[in-house]
Structure 1
Amino acid sequence: MLERIKKKLTDEKDLCVVYLGGSITEGAGASAQDRRWASRIQAWLEENWPDTRWRSHNAGIGGTNSEFGVFRLQHDVLSQKPDLVFVEFAVNDYKTDGNQCRNAMEGIVRGIWTKLPETEIVFVLTATVKMEEECYRIGQVPESVIIHEQVASYYHIPVIHVGEELLEQIRREGAAPETYLPDGVHPNDRGHAVYYETIKEYLLKGIYGLARRPLPPPMGDLRYGNVRMLDAVKTAETDFCREAISLCGRYTGYISSNVPGQAGRVEFDGTGIGVYWMIGADSGIMEYRIDGGKMQAKSSWDTYALRFDRCNHCMLASGLEEGRHVLEFKVSGDKDEGSLGHFLRIAAFLVM
């Protein structure tokens, strides 16, 4: 078991665990929430240390990568004051720009340890059939895995290769990948069980010699060193409706409009801005500009939206001059061919 966790199990007996990641952490593919790997690990902890008061929070959001993860850090992770954080983004970072991936993962680590230096972090590296076909099968390692390992090594963070273990088990058994990964990405109950067993065995082995050191100089440019979320309901000047309900169960309160031409604006200090919004069957297109510049457009709809609603993020601008800027936005009269409406539902603005 991790050294600081072992000590807290003995001395404090009051621990919080946060599981930060994408759909695999959220539990996609599992037949029930208690069958997902994160829930199984939590149940194992509670069963084996029954005298401890356990708290847990699953901060997995499907289809999201480490960049959104670093923006969500304060709201979804640090607010829980965790003692242990599992971070899982290797799959959703697979096609992400390498520098962005490295900076975001580093931003997560530094963001946690700047506020909570005693918190343990563990990277959980998952895998897909596509990663097997494009990389592992020909003796290569996916770039996202390499980068996550590099960040982990630099900051002395444990890494658990659950994806590689699952792929190896499939090879040993001569099984079809669909036996464990029906859609090639999300594990079924059998796949989640392999992830759980791999993590459990790793934790039971004991992780020693990972003494925490002061935060070293950053690996990258710290572009995510001062990220924050501006609550849309509180900060946007707009005629959009102000909703008091939760956005996909992830963020309480958001602004919304289905009226083409309805507009808003928000001022921010920083070098970049994005949106935390909903992708749904009736989602539309945002037209926007920064500091009175050229009007641009981003869609909050995709084909997956026809099957389920979800939260995600979209960066609108980066590399701006440091200082005060103005984002103007409005509901577009255009929409994607498959969309059922023009809705924009925005929970927060992401500032860097």
Structure 2
Amino acid sequence: MNLLDFIKSIIIVWLAGISPDMNNSSGCTNPDYFLAHRTACRQISPVVKTLEYEAAQNKALSISTMGSSVTGGMGASQKEKIWGNQLVAALKKQPGLSGLQFSNGGINGFSTQNMIDHQIPDRIIRQKPTIVLFETCLLNDYLQNIPIETTNKNIETIVNQLTQGLPESRIVLLSPNPRRHGEVKNKAGLTYEDYIQGTKAFIEQNGWEYIDIYKEMNETLAKNKINLDEVLSDATHPNDEGYDIWANIVIEYFLKGPKPDNE
């Protein structure tokens, strides 16, 4: 923010009768200001703040997830263990969020191409959620031998559809989890990690909000000396312990925002 923008933000907050937070000169700590400046404020504000500020306007609050079977919860022993359900249960404990609604749009076997072919973004748009969590379906793009260029193009198409259809919603992308034998190349000559790293670079290049579940889960496993096999129910799907790790990553992101690069 340049000096002129800083002065403007202070004047706006002052005119609203609010004491500006000098650690947040944009005024994003004020719900009215936040709602009027969503794009800028989201860069520095945790996702829970979006929900809290929308709640302050007496708006209906909801989260919709979309993605593959690891979003749907395959491998979990019960629906309460699915990462999306755990996230919403944690958020409902926050002030003003007890009425938060949730729709799980994970579909077994779906790739990014399947998402487009079956018009899943349109389905999400009709739900009018406050928050959209888009898990990028890379497990199936890898298995279906989709070229990485096509995967990135599909992600861009999906994000553009969501942002155009839901201009006031906050859209967060997530990678899927680590899988066994991800180092094996598919018929497109790509490893699973090629998809993870290639899409991450593309997403960050476009400035879209992103949670790197793959990286965070691997770091958690290494820190706690846990073997990947211990948190998977098969080659690709987390078990309850795996979904617990996934859920904790997303919950922390929602409540605290992204970690600094040096962590």
Same fold per superposition (TM over 0.5):
yes
Query: How many angstroms apart in 1 are the aligned matches of 2:96 and 2:181?
Result: 40
Residue pair 2:231, 2:241 contacting (<8 A) in 1 also = yes
1:4 deviates by 3.7
Which residue is 2:152 aligned to?
102
Q: Which SS does the other structure have where 1:123 is aligned?
A: strand
Residue pair 1:14, 1:52 contacting (<8 A) in 2 also = no
The structure 2 residue matched to 1:188, chosen from 221, 226, 239, is 239
- Counterparts of 1:170-319 in structure 2 under 5 Å? 170-206=221-257
Q: Which SS does the other structure have where 2:110 is aligned?
A: coil
Structure 2 unpaired stretches of 5+: 1-45, 186-190
- Counterparts of 1:330-345 in structure 2 under 5 Å? none
Who wins on radius of gyration, i.e. which is larger? 1
More deviation in 4-13 or 33-42?
4-13
Question: Is 1:54 the equivalent of 2:100?
Answer: yes
Question: Is 1:112 the equivalent of 2:162?
Answer: yes
Query: How many angstroms apart in 2 are the aligned matches of 1:73 and 1:175?
Result: 35
1:107 deviates by 0.8
Query: How many angstroms apart in 2 are the aligned matches of 1:169 and 1:45?
Result: 22
TM-score (norm 2): 0.69
Residue pair 2:180, 2:235 contacting (<8 A) in 1 also = yes
Distance of aligned partners of 1:207 and 1:178 in 2 relative to their CA distance in 1, 3 Å threshold: closer
More deviation in 115-124 or 8-17?
8-17
1:206 deviates by 3.0
Structure 1 counterpart of 2:139, one-letter code: V
Higher relative contact order (CA 8 A, sep 6+): 2
Which residue is 2:127 aligned to?
80
Distance of aligned partners of 1:130 and 1:50 in 2 relative to their CA distance in 1, 3 Å threshold: farther
Structure 1 unpaired stretches of 5+: 209-352
Which residue is 1:153 aligned to?
204
1:40 deviates by 0.6
Distance of aligned partners of 1:134 and 1:159 in 2 relative to their CA distance in 1, 3 Å threshold: farther
Residue pair 1:5, 1:120 contacting (<8 A) in 2 also = no
1:56 deviates by 1.7
User: Cα deviation per residue 1:204-256 (whole Å; 9 max; x = unaligned)?
Assistant: 22369xxxxxxxxxxxxxxxxxxxxxxxxxxxxxxxxxxxxxxxxxxxxxxxx
Q: Please state which structure has a larger fraction of its residues in strand.
A: 1
Task: Give the root-mean-square deviation of aligned CA atoms.
Answer: 2.4
More deviation in 78-87 or 146-155?
146-155
Query: How many angstroms apart in 2 are the aligned matches of 1:118 and 1:150?
Result: 25
Query: How many angstroms apart in 2 are the aligned matches of 1:175 and 1:4?
Result: 34
- Equivalenced residues, count: 203
Residue pair 2:131, 2:170 contacting (<8 A) in 1 also = yes
Residue pair 1:15, 1:52 contacting (<8 A) in 2 also = no
Query: How many angstroms apart in 2 are the aligned matches of 1:199 and 1:101?
Result: 23
Distance of aligned partners of 1:156 and 1:5 in 2 relative to their CA distance in 1, 3 Å threshold: farther
Paired-residue identity, %: 24
User: Cα deviation per residue 1:119-157 (whole Å; 9 max; x = unaligned)?
Assistant: 1111111221222x459xxxx982322333234224422
Which residue is 1:130 aligned to?
181
Q: Which SS does the other structure have where 1:129 is aligned?
A: coil
Query: How many angstroms apart in 1 are the aligned matches of 2:170 and 2:198?
Result: 20
Structure 1 counterpart of 2:106, one-letter code: G
1:163 deviates by 2.2
Query: How many angstroms apart in 2 are the aligned matches of 1:173 and 1:78?
Result: 39
- Counterparts of 1:19-58 in structure 2 under 5 Å? 19-51=65-97, 53-58=99-104
The structure 1 residue matched to 2:58, chosen from 12, 18, 38, is 12
User: Cα deviation per residue 1:164-211 (whole Å; 9 max; x = unaligned)?
Assistant: 222233333333322101312111110000000011111222369xxx
Residue pair 1:13, 1:51 contacting (<8 A) in 2 also = no
Q: Which SS does the other structure have where 1:24 is aligned?
A: helix
Q: Which SS does the other structure have where 2:201 is aligned?
A: helix
TM-score (norm 1): 0.53
Q: Which SS does the other structure have where 1:93 is aligned?
A: helix
